[in-house]
């Protein structure tokens, strides 16, 4: 009898502890919108292609961690690079993961040789927030990052505040932060 009560108490404690943890409540399947092959084909359409894997030095990590918005814990990144016939850098593509209370999203960002954003694409997102991100994907919001750099603002313009619901606004800012972090990473690695 005591054994039954003990097991019931453990079950209650375990289920209460895990249901109160926000990470458990929002884990939904990943939705891959674009493969890396599709991303490279679209964002690096010309030039000779190279892959560069980088592990940040302690100095590079310190530079990034000093930024207000930098919260990425990894120090290993992969860059897809396009060079012209004279071996000059044309474009660089990197992916950046952004964690939200409703799961993660991954942005692929193409930057020119000066670190200006050329294009950005959402490649992965969890299924639950896809409903809230869909209005962003159907708008021109992501295209407006073009020609911005690592100093871009992380505030929504009034037109986007009117266009998106509160939770979609939150995801729009998460997308913007992911794009900005990609530009910041480019500055640290390539400049």
Within-domain flag for 7: no
Within-domain flag for 17: no
pLDDT greater than 60 at residue 15: no
Within-domain flag for 37: yes
Within-domain flag for 63: yes
Residues 176 and 189: their CA atoms lie apart, in Å, by 20
Return the half-sphere exposure (C-beta side, CA atoms, 13 A cut-off) of residue 132.
21
Within-domain flag for 49: yes
pTM of the model: 0.84
Within-domain flag for 4: no
Total domains, the chain: 1
pLDDT single digits (tens) 138-148? 999 999 999 99
pLDDT single digits (tens) 36-73? 999 999 999 899 999 999 999 999 999 999 999 998 88
Within-domain flag for 94: yes
Within-domain flag for 185: yes
Residues spanned by the domain of 90: 28-190
Quote the Cα angle for 94-186-174, to 5°.
Answer: 65
């Amino acid at each position: 009898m005591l054994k039954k009560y003990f097991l019931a108490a453990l079950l209650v404690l375990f289920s209460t502890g895990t249901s109160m943890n926000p990470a458990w409540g929002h884990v939904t399947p990943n939705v891959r919108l674009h493969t890396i092959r599709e991303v490279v084909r679209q964002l690096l359409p010309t030039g000779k292609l190279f892959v560069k894997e980088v592990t940040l030095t302690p100095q590079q990590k310190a530079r990034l961690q000093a930024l207000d918005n930098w919260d990425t814990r990894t120090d290993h990144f992969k860059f897809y690079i396009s060079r012209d016939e004279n071996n000059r850098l044309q474009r660089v593509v990197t992916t950046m993961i952004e964690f939200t209370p409703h799961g993660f999203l991954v942005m692929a960002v193409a930057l020119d040789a000066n670190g200006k954003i050329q294009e950005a694409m959402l490649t992965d997102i969890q299924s639950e927030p896809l409903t809230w991100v869909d209005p962003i994907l159907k708008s021109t919001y992501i295209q407006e990052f073009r020609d911005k750099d690592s100093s871009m603002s992380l505030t929504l313009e009034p037109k986007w505040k009117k266009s998106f619901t509160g939770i979609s606004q939150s995801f729009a800012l998460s997308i913007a932060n992911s794009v900005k972090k990609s530009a910041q990473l480019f500055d640290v690695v390539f400049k």
